[in-house]
Amino acid sequence: MEEFVQSSGENGVVVFSLGTMVSNMTEERTNVIASALAQIPQKVLWRIDGKKTNTLGSNTRLYKWIPRNPFLGHPKARTFITHGGSKGIYEAIYHGIPMVGLPLFLEQPDNIAHVQVKGAAVRLDFDTMSSTDLVNALKTVINDPL
């Protein structure tokens, strides 16, 4: 993983994890996300437990597990795509990493709403977002100070 992160150059990396409760996504959602990630210049560490999609870009690596906190604290970390679980949000805030929130259930929508109000996140609807929506959100949090 570290070698892949170091190969990102000045563009850095995106850390992406929707937590351990999301074991599989629909093929349609996976394709929407993968095609968006393929359009950004950053390398992507994506924690996902599912099959590889045909829209996966060469800039994206899939892992069943990512040591999230060390990579959020990595100098090359640029943003965190998260479901909005408390632990991940606290880790991102601690490291000063902006977030793209894709809340799914329980306390996650409220968590993302609180972080968004404070200017540290952009929120998208997981079920309805397009690849363009995700690309635009990533560009916003990476390129524009929130």
Task: Tell me the per-residue pLDDT of 81-120, one tens digit each, with 9 for 90 and over.
Answer: 999 999 999 999 999 999 999 999 889 999 999 999 999 9
pTM of the entire predicted model:
0.95
Segment 12-24, tens digit of pLDDT: 999 999 987 666 7
Boundaries of domain holding 23? 2-143
Q: Round to whole Å and give the CA distance between 59 and 110.
A: 31
Using N-to-C axis directions, what is the helix angle for 86-95 and 108-117, rounded to 10°?
Answer: 20
The CATH number for 117's domain is 3.40.50.2000
**Number of structural domains in the chain:** 1
Other CB atoms within 10 Å distance of the CB of residue 100: 24
